[in-house]
Amino acid sequence: MKKKLYLKTIKGKGRGVFCTATLAEGEEIEVCPVIVVPAKEFTALNATALMDYSFYFDKEANTLSLTMGFGSMYNHKQYPNATYILDRAEKQMVFTAHEQIEAHTEISINYGGEYGRDYSRWFVDRGIDPI
C-alpha cells in the first residue's frame, strides 16, 4: 500500500506535512523534483513569499531551488524526525525518515540540513517565534 502524504493546519505554525501510515526509520518519504532559480533571479525571488519556501541549490553560486511535491511544506525542528538530501545532479530532493514516524504525526526537517543544528536565526529574521 502506498503511503499518502497530506497537509494539515497546525496552530501557531501554519500547514505541516503528515502521512496516513507509519514510516519506518530510513524509509524514503518522497523524492521531489526541484526547479533551479538562477543567481540573476535571486533578488527578485527574495522579494516574494516564495523565498520562505526555497532551499539553496548552490549557496556559493547564489542559486536557489523550489522543491515540488510536499518538499517545501515540511516544517522545521532542531531535532527533526526526517532528513533530506539535495541531489544536484538529478535536480531532486530526497526526504527520508530519520526515525520511525507514526501515522498522523507531523513530519519535520531541519532547515539547516543538519540534525540538531540551531536554525532559529531563520525565524528571527522573519519575525517568527521559533517553536
- pLDDT, position 115: 74
Higher pLDDT, 11 or 122: 11
Neighbours of 63 (CB within 10 A): 18
- Domains along the sequence of the chain with CATH: 5-113 (2.170.270.10)
Overall residue count recorded for the chain in this entry: 131
Cβ contacts of 17 within 8 Å, gap of 6 or more = 5, 6, 7, 70, 73, 74, 75, 106, 107
Digit-coded pLDDT (tens) for 88-117: 999 999 999 999 999 999 999 998 767 766
- pLDDT, position 26: 97
Digit-coded pLDDT (tens) for 48-87: 888 888 888 888 898 889 999 999 999 988 899 999 999 9
Higher pLDDT, 92 or 119: 92
